[in-house]
Structure 1
Amino acid sequence: MSTTRPAPVSAAPAPTTSADPGRRLTGRLKVVLAVLLVAQFMLAVDFSILNVALPEIGDSLGFSLANLQWIATAFALCAAGFTLFFGRIGDLVGRKRIFLAGLAVLGAASLLGGLATSPTVLIVARVAQGLATAAVTPAGLSLLTTSFPEGPLREKALGLNGALMSAGFTTGAVLGGILTDLLSWRWSFFINVPVALAVLLVAPAVIKESRPEARPRLDLPGALSVTLGLLGIVYGLTQAGEHGWTYGPALAALLAGAALLALFSFVERKVAEPLVPLRVLRRRTVAWGNILGLLAFVTETSLVYLLTLYLQKTLGFSALAAGVSFGVLGLGTVAGGMLAPKVIARTSTLTALVAGGLIQTVFTAVLVLLGDGTAWMGLLLPATFFGGVGNMLVIVGFMVTATSGLPDREQGLATGLATMSQQIGITLGTPIMSTVVTATAGATTAGAVLHGVTVAIAVNAALVLLGVLIAATFLRRDRTSTGA
């Protein structure tokens, strides 16, 4: 064991020296990192593990075709809508406490989902899983940023976290196909239970409690307005993706969500201790960093959906074969997560954001050339690998940008905002691209689906390029790197 001791997680990061834990991973920090990364990976897997199992779940439990989408939507609404609220609750009661409580709820909800015998029970389980995810994700990220001093060590931890979060989404698609084909869809739920138990057994002994020194008050009007506003926006977009942009309930939900978010902005200007102080949102690193994070998750997760359509509807792959094909993308995200801290340390966070975005743009754009034969896998596999590398450079750059330069008392807020951007991006990417495919395909033949998919891929690449332009324009004076 090293003789150096890591700084307490509740303290502000100390200046790093060569003998400082800001440069070295002690034995305890390695265990802390492993515990937090395992938890975050499991949460990311949950976003996609049921995708390929939905038809079988519907047949098994008697879901109607119209209600089948609620298996995914119920989870996504809660995971995205309540993130900021639970991030602040972590500041109030302690991030370790809410991290452990959320994991316990996640394990219990996963067990309930695996044992479900009716649609109602399964939807209740998915709501509970979503709420647990909204609690654990920002708390885990806050524990990560406060456990590791700002600098190379935190950048490395965030790089690994980003790689595993993104790889978890792709792994979920692969794992869901394998478990459903070889065992049962129920194992897509059961697999969470032993992982949650293992983390709950180890975490209390190695993770220190983290909370601001001054306990903030809960801004209840702000929390309610932003949570309900986000729920309205997420619900409206998912329904628009399902039924089209002229669908009445979708438009009503979007308008209500926008009105509630406007109310939230008004509330935050008036209350003494706002949920999101406007001075934090006025920081370019926070505001633009989170926009870049939103775009990064919208584009890469929706690309998985588009390529799933291509592989299954155009090339005729099985769900299992399509899922396994995304293993290459998962390898690319892991490689990008390992590379990103080195790029940031040697150049700057801005360089990682711009270079990663350009790489992702190029290797997404080449996918518009895909044709209707299996020989095109020779283009798809390397393009998804390198696109995954580029996307992970952007994601790690976003995490570092959005959480750097802030005191410990605001880390819960910063990581809550970052997590909210991440989860809303994951939630909204698929319905947005689904709308593009539906509008341009015009039919369900293999050729029509291919046309719709390639148009949506072009839109996807344009959104990535938009992120590059935003980073180069608005963050050029906010280089947050030890090497810049």
Structure 2
Amino acid sequence: MKLGRTKDGPAAPARPGAALAALAAAQFTVMLATSIVNVALPQIRSGVGLSDGGTTWVVNAYGLAFGALLLAGGRAGDLLGRRRVLIAGLAVFAGASLAAGLAGSPGLLIAARAVQGAGAAAVAPAALALTMDLFPPGPGRGRALGVWGAVSGAGGAGGVLLGGVLTQAWGWPWIFHAVALGTTLVLAAVAMLVPRTAARGAGRFDLLGTVAVTLALTCLVWALTTARAAGWTDAGVVAALLGAGVLLVLFVLLERRRADALIPPRLFTTGRVAAGNLLMALLGSVWIALFFFLPLYQQQVLGMSPLATGAGQLPLAVANMIGAVVAPRLAGRIGAPATLTAGLLAEAGGLLWLAQMRADGSYLVDALGPSVLVGLGLSVAFVQLTVLAVDGVPRQDAGLAGGLVNTTRQVGGAIGLAALATLAGSVTARASAHEAPLEALTAGYRAAFAVSAAVLAATAVLAVLLTRAIRRPRGVRRPATPGSAAAPLP
């Protein structure tokens, strides 16, 4: 590929749009795999002979490996070369997807999903860091991250749609075969279109810190996902939570003594990384739950088929893409903090609207309108928080910053889904004593969406406070650019 020289930093590709398309496709594939199995779970269960717990782990194994290994994947990209790690991650992801489609036993399927998550943990931070490499601060980066936000949100909704279509047409194995084929095509596109813009970074890999934080995140995510079925007082859940706490304390102590720390203090010098990750964790706590509860309502209460349920996610996906494209332009007009707050409040309004759903309702009346509002708000908030979480980070730490923001979203999602699923289950159990089964189910879903709306409303207030508190270091001046969190904060 022909490269053009920039004033400083790495050479830029002659066709950055083509490179961005390949990187965005890699991110879309990772997000697609998060939700593509949701609609097909009943068919997967009968096809492989899964128990209730095993069915849950078809989803959890992917999320557990993905969330636990993201920091390690991001740092590996910084030290070994982001393009190299991205290609390796895509190869692992494609192979694991093929193995999942061919699996004939519960153990093989769950193991393949875990390996799939490990591949995704290498792909997501490397692809985001390469995008930041290709587009320096300015309007171009704002537009690029708008595309990033569009495909990230659309991947979640698109997974539900594609899962429904493939399951109904050819059976559940094809949801994995299709992902394997698509990932192979993405790998070829990355190899051809994405230049080697980032050389290996200096320093050593913090193996001890990586092991400590990976085990801590594994314990935490395992406890949260297991608690939905086993309960919060289960001995294994309590032990895993305590283990996660001990390991996190150990990780902090280790990082304070190491020159090549996995999460170096310089990452937080501007205050934006910490603020962006905190807010992203709160957004993630309701994001994953949305794609869990909405398809359940469509199928279990409204009686929609897998295909119809998937098609019902299209308006949300389209709204998500529109919001991500609009977000940089809106930020250029009213500022990044106001845009972030507006996105969070719009999504909160959509979730509050979903909290009014009825057991005898319909998709057009109870789900369509709020889905569009949620999609618009979600994408706008996601774009702004991604910019905030990686803005001002030293170039050698870009992969780690990408891994960190993905980790907080994933772990936040695990915490939120565990808490909201427990809430919905308890509300449904109480309502079952005096209401019909569908009414009781709907009551649980309403409670989950109402609490989600409250969380996002509180997140919007916190975003206002945090963005006002952030100040750039004295003597550091950067131009304000549309769609960038580098724009002046009030």
TM-score in terms of structure 2 length:
0.91
Deviation string, structure 1 residues 374-422 (Cα, Å, up to 9, x no partner): 3463242111101211111110000110111122112112111112123
Does the Cα contact within 8 Å between 2:31 and 2:155 map onto a contact in 1?
yes
CA distance, structure 2, for counterparts of residue 282 and residue 432 of structure 1: 33
CA distance, structure 1, for counterparts of residue 420 and residue 197 of structure 2: 39
Letter paired with 1:331: V
Deviation at 1:213, TM superposition (A): 6.6
Letter paired with 2:357: L
Q: Match for 2:256 among 251, 263, 269?
A: 269
Question: For residue 49 of structure 2, what is the aligned residue in structure 1?
Answer: 62
CA distance, structure 1, for counterparts of residue 58 and residue 381 of structure 2: 30
Question: For residue 451 of structure 2, what is the aligned residue in structure 1?
Answer: 459
Q: Match for 2:89 among 84, 89, 102?
A: 102
CA distance, structure 1, for counterparts of residue 18 and residue 199 of structure 2: 23
Distance change >3 Å, CA 248–CA 153, structure 1 → 2: same
Does the Cα contact within 8 Å between 2:223 and 2:240 map onto a contact in 1?
yes
Distance change >3 Å, CA 85–CA 35, structure 1 → 2: same
Deviation at 1:335, TM superposition (A): 1.0
Letter paired with 2:460: V
Q: Residues 142-157 of structure 1: matches in 2 within 5 Å?
A: 142-157=129-144
Question: For residue 397 of structure 1, what is the aligned residue in structure 2?
Answer: 384
TM-score in terms of structure 1 length:
0.92
Q: Residues 143-182 of structure 1: matches in 2 within 5 Å?
A: 143-182=130-169
Q: Match for 1:438 among 382, 402, 425?
A: 425
Question: For residue 196 of structure 2, what is the aligned residue in structure 1?
Answer: 209
Does the Cα contact within 8 Å between 2:19 and 2:193 map onto a contact in 1?
yes
Letter paired with 2:167: T
CA distance, structure 2, for counterparts of residue 455 and residue 66 of structure 1: 24
1:385 is the counterpart of 2:377: no
Question: For residue 114 of structure 1, what is the aligned residue in structure 2?
Answer: 101
Q: Residues 38-77 of structure 1: matches in 2 within 5 Å?
A: 38-77=25-64
Deviation at 1:302, TM superposition (A): 0.8
Compare 369-378 and 153-162 and name the one that shifted more.
Answer: 369-378
CA distance, structure 1, for counterparts of residue 156 and residue 253 of structure 2: 36
Distance change >3 Å, CA 4–CA 236, structure 1 → 2: closer
List runs of 5+ in structure 2 lacking aligned partners.
472-477, 483-487
Compare 231-240 and 448-457 and name the one that shifted more.
Answer: 448-457
Question: For residue 447 of structure 1, what is the aligned residue in structure 2?
Answer: 439
Deviation at 1:27, TM superposition (A): 5.4
1:296 is the counterpart of 2:283: yes
Deviation string, structure 1 residues 102-129 (Cα, Å, up to 9, x no partner): 1111111111111112222212211210
The alignment's C-alpha RMSD in Å is 2.2
List runs of 5+ in structure 1 lacking aligned partners.
14-20
Q: Match for 1:424 among 411, 419, 424?
A: 411
Q: How many residues align?
A: 471
Question: For residue 197 of structure 1, what is the aligned residue in structure 2?
Answer: 184
Question: For residue 11 of structure 1, what is the aligned residue in structure 2?
Answer: 9
CA distance, structure 1, for counterparts of residue 49 and residue 300 of structure 2: 25
Question: For residue 252 of structure 1, what is the aligned residue in structure 2?
Answer: 239
Letter paired with 1:7: T
Q: Match for 2:209 among 217, 222, 226?
A: 222
Does the Cα contact within 8 Å between 2:54 and 2:106 map onto a contact in 1?
no
CA distance, structure 2, for counterparts of residue 102 and residue 283 of structure 1: 31
